[in-house]
Amino acid sequence: MTTSPIERAADQFVTALAQWRVERGMTKKQLAARMGFDPSYVSHVEGRRHKPTEDFARRAEAVLGAGGAIWQRFQEYDELRHARGVMHRDPPVPAQWLPPGAGLVVESEVAELAYIGGAYRCRVRRSLYNAGTEAVTRYLVKIAVDRYPNDPSGSNRHHREHPLTFDEMDVHAMAGDGEAAESMKWRVKLDRDAAKELWLLFANERGQFPLYPGERTRIEYAYTVGEEKWGQWFQRAVRLPTRSLTVRLNFPERFEPQVWGVEVSLNAEVPVRSPLERRNEGGRAIFEWSTDQPLLNARYRLEWRFRGTDAPQFDDLAPPEPALPRASHRMRGIGIIQRGSDLLRQRARHFQLPREAPAARETVTRLLSSLAQLEDLHEFSKGVGLAAPQIGIPVAAAVVRPPEREIEPVVLLNPRIVGESSDGDEQYEGCLSFFDYRGLVARPLRIEVEHARFDGARVVTVFERAMARLVGHEIDHLEGRLYVDRMESDAKLVPIAQYQQTGRPWDY
């Protein structure tokens, strides 16, 4: 029996909803409660007894943090539904769903970080709308610094020795516009070496000016952090429903800055979906990135490096032990997810082939494109592999380029190891998601791998020696494992600076 395009689109929406609900470990009743619906409502939608509405789709996307997947499936369904001439449309809802209990909406945010005279000055402007039922009398601001984000122990040590202080931060805040603007008092909520939280109060020595339901205002706050305490990154977290977000970096042009952006959600860390814009003004290089309707709980991070000879050098300020990793910076710069991301510890979803063949082909295309970028950065004499979760796609696909450069990469869809030899060896492995170190890993010399073609047919391929190691490494990624999980408990990682086999194939 055939189904119509609209029925297939509805099925795809329900499938995406159920997959993300299971991924987040929620029952239907738990999800319904988080979304503010009757306990049986999610069950009715997944069972196709109720048609999904725009409000339902937005709430599901916000609660499950699906990176836009649920919302995209709803839009596909909605377009087909209305293309068929259905007269009824769901009543309009706010541009972004307001979670139960939330009162404030950020109608626009502009966050700017400027390097001036050896310090970073952060200035944030937010246009607020009180969509709740109670007057708002304070606004929470969170400030965190991390001098060495790829070296947590070194960063913690550094900030213990050089704690961030409110005195040096010079915090100022205002509410309102023009001549009607009022200074805002602030009160400390949290005071730690590398993290501060403070309440901006809708009050000053002249009195209070609460933001009442239905009213709008603009707040602006600014603070300063010295370059010795601020790492080369600037992150914005979406904690309130937000309609427009702009992030701006302002550096001296002579520093020759290079800037890139990363979007961090609950399940992925990928390059931002639109390019940064750059302009030069008065000897300053200004980088700007904007997005509309950012998802709740999403985080957007801009990172940079300075190439100018008179710019502050990151390495000069690194802790003496251990040395600051740099190779992982390059990997992250082209969109490779780094160790510590939850996505690398989750089992990848298998494709439903041949139905999902177009999605599988698109994923393989993205993997091969990323592989080409990788080979411009590093000489992989041992061969190289890349799994879809490493570029932020939680599906069971990987590509492996053999040590022999003239051989085409191997494509693996839904792979699983079905046999392996009793003979094995130990070799040092690296990982694109943990590229600053190498570790000694034992693996079989021969493996048999069952995997799928795009048409859904299953085949078994035998891999030996280097290819067996490379393929086994990528299948581990698809099962949520890293090579460090296979190392002996007393084995030590070798920093890349001390590794003696770079540029040489494995020895057999």
Active-site residue set: 474
Cis upstream peptide for 354 (omega within 30°): yes
Partner residues linked to 315 by β-bridges: none
- The CB density around residue 257, as the number of other CB atoms within 10 Å, is 22
Give the max Cα distance, the chain. Answer: 80
- The CB density around residue 302, as the number of other CB atoms within 10 Å, is 23
Task: Give the chain's count of helices (H) and strands (E).
Answer: 10, 26
User: Measuring CA to CA, which residue among 495, 502, 487 is closest to residue 442?
Assistant: 487
Mind giving me the DSSP string for 22-43? Answer: HHTT--HHHHHHHHTS-TTHHH
Helices (H), 47-194: 54-64, 69-83, 152-161, 166-169
Place of tokens 């979304």: 35
76 contacts: CB under 8 Å, gap ≥ 6: 9, 12, 13
* CA 124/CA 459 separation, integer angstroms: 56
**3-class DSSP state of 180:** helix
CB 271 within 8 A of CB 261: yes
Sort residue 117 into left (φ over 0), alpha (ψ -120 to 50) or beta.
left
CB 299 within 8 A of CB 236: yes
Place of tokens 């499950």: 64
- In this structure, the chain runs to a length of 508
Burial class (CB in 10 A: 0-12, 13-18, 19+), 341: middle
CB 99 within 8 A of CB 55: no
Q: Within 13 Å of residue 118, how many CA atoms lie on the same side as its CB?
A: 3
502 contacts: CB under 8 Å, gap ≥ 6: 381, 496
User: Measuring CA to CA, which residue among 244, 233, 366 is closest to residue 301?
Assistant: 233
Q: Within 13 Å of residue 202, how many CA atoms lie on the same side as its CB?
A: 15
